[in-house]
Chains A and B, each alone.
Chain A
Amino acid sequence: MTNPNALLHRRDVVNELLRDRADLLVIAGLGAPNWDVSAAGDHPNNFPLWGAMGAAAMIGFGLALAQPKRKVLVITGDGEMLMNIGSLASIAVEAPKNLTIAVLDNERFGETGMQKTPTASGVDLAAIATACGIRTSRIVRTMAEVTELRDFAHEGRGTVFAQIKINPEALVFVMPPADGVILTTRFRQSVLGDEALFN
């Protein structure tokens, strides 16, 4: 019997969000979300961050505005989201339909020794997103809800925000290329075609 109250495993969550990813564009926040997205499979349509903490949601937002016909999924952590929590206000005003922000919330700063983040004391990111005006905003605790979130992201039913409660487990690092020029160029070439190499 599986325990219905057990916390979700982060790589199960990310594997499900990226199932049959087709031409989904993915921004991964620094730290464990980067390793999780890379563990699901390195892909030119991934832009995994190795720094610039607090950037993930806004990169996804600028990308979603630039590519309104593509679906953009941001996968990041609770600490990374909290660093620029105001970006939810900026995003909610424009509310692009093709943007989903999935926060993997282990209530910890995982890369620095598992210190507690404010979500461990009850700070409710989904409520913050709702208060900013992101109408589809929720806390996710089950794989069935993860599957629904995956479908929202792939269908562009946004703007969608989800705070996914996950187990604070430390897993093996699975790393994508670290060179920002490679990550940028291959992403642009994949999205924009070979023309991107010439301008």
Chain B
Amino acid sequence: MAEAAKSRSEAPAALPTWPDEIYHVLKDAGIRQVAMVPDAGHSRLIRSFEADPETRVVTLTTEEEGVAMLAGAWLGGERGVLLLQSSGVGNCINMLSLPVICHMPLLMIVTMRGDWGEFNPWQIPMGQGTRPSLEAMGVIVNKVDEPDLVASTVQGAAHLAFNTWKPVAVLLGQRVLGAKNFKELARK
């Protein structure tokens, strides 16, 4: 009985399909530059882009570098995406002046922490501050909490960003990503 329960819990869960769906949506949107500070929630998408010879994946030391880099990409006629965790949104605030005042597109895909199911209290301030900070800077924010709606949300955000020259952020909620519990990991 206990053995059966254990083997059930260790059976690999079906992989979610939304990271691959985001990849295809971004490819269709013509994304060539991927600027990122990694987050676990983005790891599969990052691997897809790293395996793609048409896209350049650039690892940043801080997320605001990516806002500037993608402004340069736009000046040179290429489209990019910034992949970051919600804590990194705080690092971008003044740099968002650039796309806002220049009417440049900026597509940000933000994996949330400090949200549904969070275990780490230190993630709460920036997690809860993510949407208001972005909106205060004039970024359009679309949050998604349903795995089935991720692809269409990213697709709509990409259209909005690149056709109306706006900064747009998609927030992927922890209901989509699954909340980590380090306390459980520590007990193992």
Interface residue ranges, A against B (CB under 8 Å): 27, 47, 49, 51-67, 70, 84, 86-87, 89-90, 93-94, 180-181, 183-184, 187-188, 191-192, 196
Given A52-B94, A52-B97, A184-B103, A84–B76 Cβ distance below 8 Å?
no
Q: A53-B94, A58-B69 are in contact. List 5 more A-B contacts (CB 8 A).
A: A55-B64, A62-B35, A87-B68, A180-B103, A188-B77
**Which stretch (B12-20, B52-60, B151-159, B172-180) binds chain A?**
B52-60
Chain A CB within 8 A of B101 CB? yes
Q: Is the CB of B58 within 8 A of A66?
A: no
Which of B70, B78, B101 counts the most A-chain CB atoms under 10 A from its CB?
A: B101
Tell me whether chain A's interface is mostly helix, strand or loop, or mixed: helix
Question: Which residues from B are CB-within-8-Å of A27?
Answer: 72
Q: Is the CB of A66 within 8 A of B33?
A: yes
Question: Which residues from A are CB-within-8-Å of B62?
Answer: 84, 86
Chain A CB within 8 A of B75 CB? yes
Chain A CB within 8 A of B102 CB? yes
Q: List 25 A-B contacts (CB under 8 A).
A: A52-B95, A54-B64, A55-B67, A55-B71, A55-B95, A58-B65, A58-B68, A59-B98, A61-B72, A62-B33, A62-B69, A62-B70, A62-B78, A62-B80, A65-B76, A66-B72, A66-B77, A66-B78, A86-B61, A90-B69, A180-B101, A187-B75, A188-B74, A191-B77, A192-B77
Question: Which residues from A are CB-within-8-Å of B66?
Answer: 58
Interface residue ranges, B against A (CB under 8 Å): 32-33, 35, 56, 58-62, 64-78, 80, 94-95, 97-98, 101-104
**Distance (Å) between the CB of A67 and the closest chain B CB?**
4
**A161 to B72 Cα, complex, angstroms:** 18
Given A55-B68, A86-B61, A94–B77 Cβ distance below 8 Å?
no
Question: Which residue of B is nearest A99, CB measured?
Answer: B72
**A62 to B62 Cα, complex, angstroms:** 15
Given A52-B98, A54-B64, A184-B104, A63–B58 Cβ distance below 8 Å?
no
Question: Which residue of A is nearest B67, CB measured?
Answer: A55
**Distance (Å) between the CB of A46 and the closest chain B CB?**
11
Question: Which residues from B are CB-within-8-Å of A67?
Answer: 76-77
Kindly identify which residue among A55, A62, A87, A93 contacts B76, using a CB–CB cutoff of 8 Å: A62
Q: Is the CB of B65 within 8 A of A87?
A: yes
**A123 to B80 Cα, complex, angstroms:** 34
Question: Which residues from A are CB-within-8-Å of B68?
Answer: 52, 54-59, 62, 84, 87
Given A54-B64, A84-B65, A180-B102, A59–B94 Cβ distance below 8 Å?
no
Q: Is the CB of B58 within 8 A of A90?
A: yes
Question: Which residues from A are CB-within-8-Å of B103?
Answer: 180-181, 184
Question: Which residues from B are CB-within-8-Å of A84?
Answer: 62, 64-65, 68
Question: Which residues from B are CB-within-8-Å of A183?
Answer: 102
Question: Which residues from B are CB-within-8-Å of A58?
Answer: 65-66, 68-69, 72
Question: Which residues from B are CB-within-8-Å of A62?
Answer: 33, 35, 68-76, 78, 80
**Distance (Å) between the CB of B102 and the closest chain A CB?**
4
Kindly identify which residue among B35, B61, B72 contacts A59, using a CB–CB cutoff of 8 Å: B72
Q: Is the CB of A51 within 8 A of B97?
A: yes
Which of B66, B80, B94 counts the most A-chain CB atoms under 10 A from its CB?
A: B94
**Distance (Å) between the CB of B138 and the closest chain A CB?**
13
**Distance (Å) between the CB of A189 and the closest chain B CB?**
11
Which of A51, A87, A184 counts the most B-chain CB atoms under 10 A from its CB?
A: A184
Q: Is the CB of B98 within 8 A of A55?
A: yes
**A31 to B67 Cα, complex, angstroms:** 20
**A40 to B69 Cα, complex, angstroms:** 25
